[in-house]
């Protein structure tokens, strides 16, 4: 990894954070979608106590759709404002990708800080192992950010951005969602999950693949 790419990622992250602080559009989408989905599911089920495995699966389904609903926004904004070509001329393409990954991870973390407590409150969940739960949430979020950013980059110049992001991201994220649900359920029940290795390795593997592929994504 060249130093210029790391510097570029920092610049892109700082630019996107400043833009988001002015508009608060991206984080608002994530929080509103997550809270609404959680509230609707809780009222539909109408169950005060729910099995940990089911609760973990529901949580990660919500986080998946939350991610595909909001994490592609930064790329769409660049295309709408016609600034993507300028970014690619000014900084290495790997730096653009890494900066967008870090920005999306920050957005997702902020949204989870609101959505997860609401989810646990509405479903009356008791935490078994906080450290294991937070580890699953962090590495799962890293995987969501890495994969969704890659898919968003692939489809950023197409017309059907929203539908394509969900359709293309799901096969890539399926192993991550299974591992995250399993480990989250174990942490809620107070046991030791066996999928943390997948959660740790997934962002690195997909991220390495993305850095190899990203040079060809924006080639005309």
The residue ranking higher by pLDDT, 73 or 116, is 116
Query: What is the per-residue pLDDT for 61?
Result: 92
Number of domains in the chain: 1
Q: What is the pLDDT of residues 54-112, one digit of tens each?
A: 888 999 999 998 888 777 777 777 766 777 777 777 777 888 888 889 999 999 999 99
Q: Binning pLDDT at 50, 70 and 90, where does residue 145 land? A: very high
The answer to whether residues 165 and 155 touch, using CB atoms and an 8 Å cutoff, is: yes
Which of 37-46, 66-75, 159-168, 172-181 is modeled with the greatest confidence?
A: 172-181
Which residues lie below 8 Å from residue 94, measured CB to CB, with a gap of 6+? 1, 2, 5, 8, 9, 211, 214, 215
| Average pLDDT of the residues in 31-39 | 89
| Average pLDDT of the residues in 17-22 | 82
Query: What is the per-residue pLDDT for 1?
Result: 46
Q: Binning pLDDT at 50, 70 and 90, where does residue 122 land? A: confident
Query: What is the per-residue pLDDT for 146?
Result: 92
The answer to whether residues 48 and 124 touch, using CB atoms and an 8 Å cutoff, is: yes
**Domain membership of residue 7 as a residue range:** 3-217
Q: Give dist(CA 19, CA 15) in Å, integer.
A: 6
Query: What is the per-residue pLDDT for 73?
Result: 73
Checking if the pLDDT of 26 tops 80, the result is: no
| Average pLDDT of the residues in 51-55 | 84
């Amino acid at each position: 990894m060249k130093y210029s790419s790391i510097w570029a990622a920092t610049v892109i992250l700082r630019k996107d954070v400043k833009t988001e602080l002015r508009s608060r559009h991206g984080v608002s989408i994530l929080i509103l979608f997550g809270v609404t989905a959680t509230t609707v599911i809780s009222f539909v089920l109408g169950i005060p106590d729910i099995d940990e495995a089911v609760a973990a699966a529901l949580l990660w389904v919500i986080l998946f759709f939350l991610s595909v609903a909001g994490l592609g926004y930064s790329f769409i904004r660049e295309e709408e404002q016609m600034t993507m070509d300028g970014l690619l001329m000014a900084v290495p393409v790997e730096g653009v990708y890494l900066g967008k990954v870090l920005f999306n991870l920050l957005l997702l973390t902020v949204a989870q800080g609101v959505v997860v407590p609401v989810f646990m409150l509405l479903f009356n969940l008791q935490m078994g192992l906080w450290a294991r739960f937070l580890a699953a949430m962090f590495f799962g979020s890293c995987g969501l950010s890495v994969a969704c950013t890659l898919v968003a980059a692939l489809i950023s110049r197409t017309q059907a951005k929203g539908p394509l992001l969900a359709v293309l991201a799901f096969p890539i994220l399926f192993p991550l969602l299974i591992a995250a649900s399993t480990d989250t359920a174990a942490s809620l029940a107070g046991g030791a999950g066996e999928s943390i290795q997948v959660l740790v390795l997934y962002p690195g593997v997909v991220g390495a693949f993305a850095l190899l592929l990203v040079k060809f994504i924006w080639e005309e």
